[in-house]
Amino acid sequence: MKRIATITLVENSTGRNKSKTFTVQTVEIHHEADTASQGADGRVSTAHHPSKIFWFGGTAKDLASITDVKFVGNNG
């Protein structure tokens, strides 16, 4: 599903570089299904998987030295 979002890129550096914010960006979100398996003891364990997010308009150069990414949609 495509959505419009604000993307903030944070660089973890000692140079205290400012965050880069990109507004009105198109992103596509693909959720990965959770997996569940039953162990030998009969207990069911669930594993959550991260979503895959595709950013249309961004480049690899924008992500150089980036350690944290925050996506905020118009509905929070």
Q: What is the pLDDT of residues 34-75, one digit of tens each?
A: 889 998 999 999 888 777 888 888 788 877 778 788 777 766
What distance in Å separates the CA atoms of residue 15 and residue 65, rounded to the nearest whole number?
12
Residue 43 is predicted with a pLDDT of: 93
Is residue 7 exposed (0-12), middle (13-18) or buried (19+ Cβ within 10 Å)? buried
Q: Domain range for residue 30?
A: 2-73
**Nearest residue to 54 (alpha-carbon basis) of 35, 71, 67, 66:** 71
Tally the domains of the chain. Answer: 1
- Residue 3 clears pLDDT 80, i.e. is over it: yes
Residue 41 is predicted with a pLDDT of: 92
